[in-house]
A and B are shown apart, each in its own frame.
Chain A
Amino acid sequence: MTTIRPLTLLGCAALVLAPALSFAGGTETHSISGFSDFDDGEVEGAAVEASGKVTVGYGHQKVELSAHSTTFSCLVDGKQAWVGTADSATIQRVDVRAKAPAVEELVGAEALDGVVVSAMARLPGGDLVAAVLPGGKLVRVNKKGEVSDFAELAEVEQIWALLPHKGRLLVATGPRGELWSVGTDGKDAKVVLDVPEKDILSVLAVGDAVLVGTSPKARLYQVGGEAGKELEGQLIREFKGDEVRALALSGSKLVAAVNDFESRSVSSRSALTKQLNRSSLTGEKPEDNNTTRSRPSADATVWAVDLGKKQDLGRAFDAAWDEWLKKKNQYFIDLVATDQPGTVLAASSQGGKIYRVRGRRDAAVIADLEERQATSLCLLDNGEVLATAGDGAAVYTLDDAPAAKARWVSDVLDAGQPATYGAFALDGQGSMELRVRTGPTKEVDGRWSAWKKVSLSRDAGSGDLRGRADLPKRRYMQVEVGLGDGAELRGLTAFYAPENLAPMLEEITVKAASFERDDDEETKAKVTIKWESESRDGDDLVYEAWIRSAEGAGEPAWVSLTQDGPVSKTSVELDLDTLPDGRYEVRVVASDEPDNGTGAAATDELISDPFVIDRTRPSLSNLRVDGSRLTGVAEDRGSLIHDVAFAVDGGDFRAASASDGVFDSGKESFELLLPTLSPGAHRVVVRARDARGNIETAAIEVGG
């Protein structure tokens, strides 16, 4: 979302992307366009397309599993589906025959005795095989939900994926980076791939060959087929990142979800170890176990390569991979190929979003689960997709048909100040409805106004839908766009005028030229007058400055220092030669006229402390020489005598002394001791300087 100060906004992409523009009159806009802006909002039945438009998306049905905190894995077979839970491992049977899914527990927590059902597969007889963590247990579950051991894989602690393949079951494991092959009776388990990475997180069959994705290096290996006959397999691709979390084959497109995490720090180990020791020795949960703070951020990318009609895996090795979708601050957890070739859905860790991706720059948010994560995706026979949610357990079925109701709701938009809202304009096509509401807080609460419908009419000139609503004057605003069948929303502009806050002048400083004791030159006849101000509401400011004498009776007239009109700089230089000596003061007026126009501009005024202009030089008198001793009197009218110095025959100046020991008044007797001079006449120059840097000199001849 971009907040800009408009000239002509609608339908002008270049302007939408432009930075803030100065515009008189105090009007500003919330302008929403592009994938990123729309992606910041939420959708229900709508899709946010990568091309920067919101369209009607898929409908969905949902069932919550309130007894669990996360659903983690899914398995579908025809019209049957199962989901595995996390926090405590259970298997839930999902009936997807009805419009809305129905869930019943097939295997409870006591039977599985684990934290998570990480993967499931179906055996030929109809039984399930489920992987349970921790411990990497593989159990068989019959239709009654009875659990028995299926297979034991030596030194396997984690199982991340199960794939029936060529009459056997492939098991992707950690922490030894092994792909196991197990008979469907649970016997004859053997390692068929052993990669250097710790974990095989994803596995995908492509013809006879099998591809696996690994962690903690994001690598793609092939085993089986012509290229991967060795136990080590063949490294096909190494992505930048930490893990290939999911793989999918859609038509001829091989797609990989790759996550790249920011590294964790090892410095927290002491606190974590203490916390673990305490919890393991008392059974009490940590007092503060909120893991959000210590969660490293991630970048997630969907990569794809075209294998061609023959699904030639050699192309995965040789051909360039395309970056189909890249998202920051999230990671992808699962991919599923839809029944449309070349299209995959990606489950995201952020906001429960599910992206549809089908090419470079062709991505759309097609579902926004109410829970915080989308954790797994499975394709049902009828083309619908079953999705599970994490951080809040739920099962969704995403329809293959357009949603009956589609709406996009913006993030809460901030005007910076309580604002008067004007017109709303929608750029797009088809039937759209607009509702808006305003409130005083960033979080929507009871103090917000109710949604108010905005009557829209098509603007003949631009083709935009425009309308107005009488909204309470509030700082925050939110919009909701309902989309009719076939409608597209490409952009939205909301005009508003934030309450104008007057600028504030904080300080005026008058800075005279400075000098050092050994400076031989008189200071420049300039004084810099600077001021500091704050706009308070982000408005650009301009300034005018005046000066007047601060002496004598009455109110002398102000003399402008900015005769050419308001300036945007925050200082002016004063030429001291244009003013007689005396005490002066400066007045500065700041105005937010550039952003609010002269009629509505707010101003602030500040007068400086009085300051002295003194260009009168000190005088030197009574210069007398007695032997090598020279005395005299230096006197200044406007300030104090700063120092007296002398030079002999054009040499360097040397300091004289005040007769009373201190230069602390406007009239100072001084004396100096001349150096031993060679016989003959010598020229001594005496220099007196006042506190403002004004210099007077006098010459005297000695000797001879």
Chain B
Amino acid sequence: MAKPADSASPLRRTLSALVTPLMVAGVFGGLYAGFWAAGDAVAAKPGDDEERAAPAKRRRPGKRTGDPNIIPIDEIKRGMKGYALTVFHGETPDKFEIEVVDVVRDYATGQDAVLFTSPDPRLEHSGIVGGMSGSPIWIEGKLAGALAYGYRFSKDPLGGLTPIENMLEVSDLPYRPDVLPRPPRRGGAGGAYAPYAQGREGSDAWADQMLHLGTEPLPARQRPRDIPGPGGAPSGGLEPIGAPMSIAGLGPRAGQFLADMTGLLPVRGGGSHAAAASSGEAAGAGNKHTFSPGDSVSVVLIAGDNGAAPNGTVTWVGGKQSEKVLAFGHPMYGGGPSDLPIANAHVHTILNSVERSVKLSSALDLQGTMIQDRQPAIYLRTDIETPMIPVTTTVASPEEAFAARRYESAVANNQDLTAALVATLLIDAVEEAGNDAVELVLETRSLIKIETSKGPRTIELEEETYFPGGIIGGIMARSRALTLITIALDNQFEVAKILSVEQHATLHYGAPVERIERVRVADGELRAGELVELEVEFRPPQGRARTQTISLRIPEDAGGERVVVELAGGEWVLPYAPLPGDVDDLIDNVAATFPARSVIGTIYRANEGLATEHGLMADLPESVLQSLSPSGSNRKAVHFKQASRRIIRTDGIIQGRASLELDILPARAID
């Protein structure tokens, strides 16, 4: 074996030892396992081979097939020539030549890489192209691996190859729906639901989002948007070229939102005369595609009128029915077991860029499922179907002359992604129909069909949000409907199945919004059983405040008590709700709201009740309350203050809250 040109110094060896744990962490972290962390410091040195070979007990990862059509990594030498297959346009792969520059040992944990360059004139201009990930490379007529790595801002078409032996190991992994978050399934006698599907501990970040409770907002586990991308890495190193997410029918704000939420590089694609965007339906017999090495392949996140599909290239096809497909040569998220849908893809062209050229592609028909997402490859199966969730989005513009829009799309069913994908569709529809940078009110009506172990149900939510200077996508994405989708998929009880989503948005110009500025008691004397007249000052975003008198009835038995009278906008108060005992309870609690166009008048009293999983026990006699709240255990039940509420409907959206502590005199003895 040829010795590397620069033998490693002792310092370099030390660095290597230090860097390895970093690399482990990087790989474990997911998508962009960091070669940059190791840089080119990890170079072989004399004796390395022996050291590496010696601990045969520590067998390196990879599948040694002995297949004469595969060239093992150890046989690859500098200067060897070969070719790769990828789609430059359309759906048919083309060859391009490559020449081996060197072999990089331990590029990632247990995985070497082969550096190559290409004399092909198409790559001279574009360099290594995003979307080529997975392009199979043959050296000396034998399959060597997949194109997977490149340099950003590279002046030459210098790339890196993931050895096929590492990739083939992934093809032995099974489809693991049993470990994926899954909804309950109907089965057994009479179509009964299986026992509770096991949920997992939610991160509660969504609760914090709704309640601003100051809980730890960091998610308790890795999520796509939290996986470090190339933006956080020092430039100059070889890195996975990633799967450019081809987006179709999405505006810039929606595209950026989606990119933020998925951590993927968005590339505007779209349909063409040659390829309509994927319908989100599984391919029928007429358009069932049998993948071949070099084919373009997409993982489908959104399909239909809108599209979002990270794109790459097929490396290897196996199985009796060619149902096993390896692609990308690097992970998409690195999340292991997966069930995202995949589609064959059409490449429109290559967009050349100084930083990173990318393929402009469109996903075609659903052809199967990505069942594994691993360090050396993604593993696809065309014999496993994964349905998508149909999402209908309508939007009525604030300009009446604009016709209402209706979009039929489908999104991938994924615990971490689905809510963000649904949000993307709403943001996009609103962006198209009413992205006016003026005061706007967004009314949304959402119909979310879900299935839990108790059966199917539809949740209808109506929300109104005021935007003082145009729609902000991030705020839209915090809607209660999207929160509800998140918690239906991510909670401690069970994973609900989202059957479909309808979201209807209506935009209005203007600012029918007022803020509760001040409250004062108009009466001098407050007596039990009588009305307390509250003069409330409401202030619009601009202009003069107005005063309105709101009456609340003081409870008849509140004489002699100190009470808190609170006035708040409808969305500023949550109804008291019992502790949830299952996901349906949880959904009911999240769905229970007061109208945005209302003032909620509440009189809080000192007495307390007990919220339990079985319901609220309001205003308990003190001895019962104490007996049911034993001091010797930290019970799940929660105390709450007795409250009587009145909903006062208003013309506009009410924001803010104000409260007063008041002493109540006994009821009048003489009428």
**A175 on the B face (CB < 8 A):** yes
8 A Cβ contacts from A34-51 to B: none
**B619 on the A face (CB < 8 A):** yes
Check if A263 sits within 8 Å of B578, measured CB to CB: no
Check if B623 sits within 8 Å of A333, measured CB to CB: yes
Among A287-295, A306-314, A527-535, A542-550, the stretch in contact with B: A287-295
Which residue of chain B has its CB nearest to the CB of A264?
Answer: B606
CB-defined contacts of A215 to chain B, threshold 8 Å = 621-622
CB-defined contacts of B195 to chain A, threshold 8 Å = none
**B479 on the A face (CB < 8 A):** no
Of B590, B604, B623, chain A has the most CB atoms within 10 Å of the CB of B623
Given A274-B211, A278-B213: A264 in contact with B608 (beta carbons within 8 A): yes
Q: How far is the CA of A361 from the CA of B589 in the complex (A)?
A: 54
Check if B634 sits within 8 Å of A285, measured CB to CB: yes
Among A113-121, A465-473, A478-486, the stretch in contact with B: A113-121
Check if A278 sits within 8 Å of B631, measured CB to CB: no
Chain A, interface size category, equals 35 or more
Which residue of chain B has its CB nearest to the CB of A114?
Answer: B614
Check if A391 sits within 8 Å of B632, measured CB to CB: yes
Q: How far is the CA of A259 from the CA of B625 in the complex (A)?
A: 13
**In angstroms, how far is the closest chain A Cβ from the Cβ of B593?**
11
CB-defined contacts of B612 to chain A, threshold 8 Å = 115, 134
Q: How far is the CA of A175 from the CA of B620 in the complex (A)?
A: 9
Check if B640 sits within 8 Å of A273, measured CB to CB: yes
Check if A372 sits within 8 Å of B628, measured CB to CB: no
CB-defined contacts of B544 to chain A, threshold 8 Å = none
**A349 on the B face (CB < 8 A):** yes
Q: How far is the CA of A245 from the CA of B586 in the complex (A)?
A: 36
Closest 6 CB pairs between A and B? Answer: A391-B630, A280-B577, A134-B615, A269-B641, A292-B631, A264-B606
CB-defined contacts of B360 to chain A, threshold 8 Å = none
Check if B634 sits within 8 Å of A272, measured CB to CB: no
CB-defined contacts of A278 to chain B, threshold 8 Å = 207, 211, 213, 215
Q: How far is the CA of A259 from the CA of B627 in the complex (A)?
A: 13
**A82 on the B face (CB < 8 A):** no
**In angstroms, how far is the closest chain A Cβ from the Cβ of B454?**
14
Q: How far is the CA of A259 from the CA of B561 in the complex (A)?
A: 18
Partner of A375, one of B492, B574, B616, B627: B627
**In angstroms, how far is the closest chain A Cβ from the Cβ of B606?**
4
CB-defined contacts of B624 to chain A, threshold 8 Å = 118, 160, 201
Check if A349 sits within 8 Å of B626, measured CB to CB: yes
**A276 on the B face (CB < 8 A):** yes
CB-defined contacts of B643 to chain A, threshold 8 Å = 269
Check if B634 sits within 8 Å of A290, measured CB to CB: yes
**B629 on the A face (CB < 8 A):** yes
Q: How far is the CA of A174 from the CA of B625 in the complex (A)?
A: 14
Check if B493 sits within 8 Å of A283, measured CB to CB: yes
**A392 on the B face (CB < 8 A):** yes
Of A69, A115, A375, chain B has the most CB atoms within 10 Å of the CB of A115
| Chain A 74-105: CB-based contact to B (< 8 A → 1; otherwise 0) | 00000000000011010000000000000000
**B59 on the A face (CB < 8 A):** no
Check if A265 sits within 8 Å of B580, measured CB to CB: no
Which residue of chain A has its CB nearest to the CB of B201?
Answer: A284
8 A Cβ contacts from A168-217 to B: 174-175, 197-199, 201, 215-216
Partner of B628, one of A70, A263, A290: A70
Partner of B578, one of A266, A273, A280, A349: A280
Q: How far is the CA of A114 from the CA of B612 in the complex (A)?
A: 9
| Chain B 594-614: CB-based contact to A (< 8 A → 1; otherwise 0) | 000000000011111011101
Which residue of chain B has its CB nearest to the CB of A265?
Answer: B606
Q: How far is the CA of A295 from the CA of B623 in the complex (A)?
A: 10
Check if A266 sits within 8 Å of B563, measured CB to CB: yes
**A296 on the B face (CB < 8 A):** yes
Task: State the B residues within 8 Å of A (CB).
Answer: 202, 204, 207, 210-211, 213, 215, 491-493, 557, 561-564, 574, 576-581, 585-586, 589-590, 604-608, 610-612, 614-624, 626-641, 643, 661
Partner of A201, one of B610, B621, B638, B640: B621
Q: How far is the CA of A286 from the CA of B621 in the complex (A)?
A: 23
8 A Cβ contacts from A215-253 to B: 215-216, 242-243, 245
Partner of A86, one of B621, B623, B627: B627
Which residue of chain A has its CB nearest to the CB of B661?
Answer: A266
Given A113-B614, A289-B634: A276 in contact with B627 (beta carbons within 8 A): no
Which residue of chain B has its CB nearest to the CB of A133?
Answer: B617
Check if B586 sits within 8 Å of A283, measured CB to CB: yes
**A605 on the B face (CB < 8 A):** no
8 A Cβ contacts from A46-75 to B: 69-70, 72
**In angstroms, how far is the closest chain A Cβ from the Cβ of B495?**
14
CB-defined contacts of A276 to chain B, threshold 8 Å = 576-577, 611, 638-640
Q: How far is the CA of A375 from the CA of B491 in the complex (A)?
A: 37
Q: How far is the CA of A216 from the CA of B491 in the complex (A)?
A: 40
**In angstroms, how far is the closest chain B Cβ from the Cβ of A349?**
7
**In angstroms, how far is the closest chain B Cβ from the Cβ of A213?**
11
CB-defined contacts of A89 to chain B, threshold 8 Å = 614
Partner of B492, one of A158, A275, A284, A291: A284
Q: How far is the CA of A215 from the CA of B577 in the complex (A)?
A: 25
Check if B577 sits within 8 Å of A69, measured CB to CB: no
Q: How far is the CA of A296 from the CA of B557 in the complex (A)?
A: 20
Check if B590 sits within 8 Å of A281, measured CB to CB: yes
Check if B622 sits within 8 Å of A243, measured CB to CB: yes
Q: How far is the CA of A198 from the CA of B643 in the complex (A)?
A: 15
Check if A282 sits within 8 Å of B628, measured CB to CB: no
Q: How far is the CA of A318 from the CA of B585 in the complex (A)?
A: 53
CB-defined contacts of B564 to chain A, threshold 8 Å = 266-267, 269
8 A Cβ contacts from A483-514 to B: none
Which residue of chain B has its CB nearest to the CB of A294?
Answer: B639
Given A134-B616, A265-B606, A283-B492: A275 in contact with B638 (beta carbons within 8 A): yes
Check if B638 sits within 8 Å of A289, measured CB to CB: yes
Of B580, B589, B606, B628, chain A has the most CB atoms within 10 Å of the CB of B628
CB-defined contacts of B637 to chain A, threshold 8 Å = 115, 289
Partner of B627, one of A70, A199, A264: A70
**In angstroms, how far is the closest chain A Cβ from the Cβ of B303?**
32
Which residue of chain A has its CB nearest to the CB of B643?
Answer: A269
Q: How far is the CA of A286 from the CA of B207 in the complex (A)?
A: 14
CB-defined contacts of B581 to chain A, threshold 8 Å = 283
Given A198-B557, A279-B611, A282-B204: A242 in contact with B622 (beta carbons within 8 A): yes
Check if A390 sits within 8 Å of B579, measured CB to CB: no
8 A Cβ contacts from A378-430 to B: 390-392
Check if A266 sits within 8 Å of B627, measured CB to CB: no
Check if A281 sits within 8 Å of B621, measured CB to CB: no
Check if A272 sits within 8 Å of B627, measured CB to CB: no
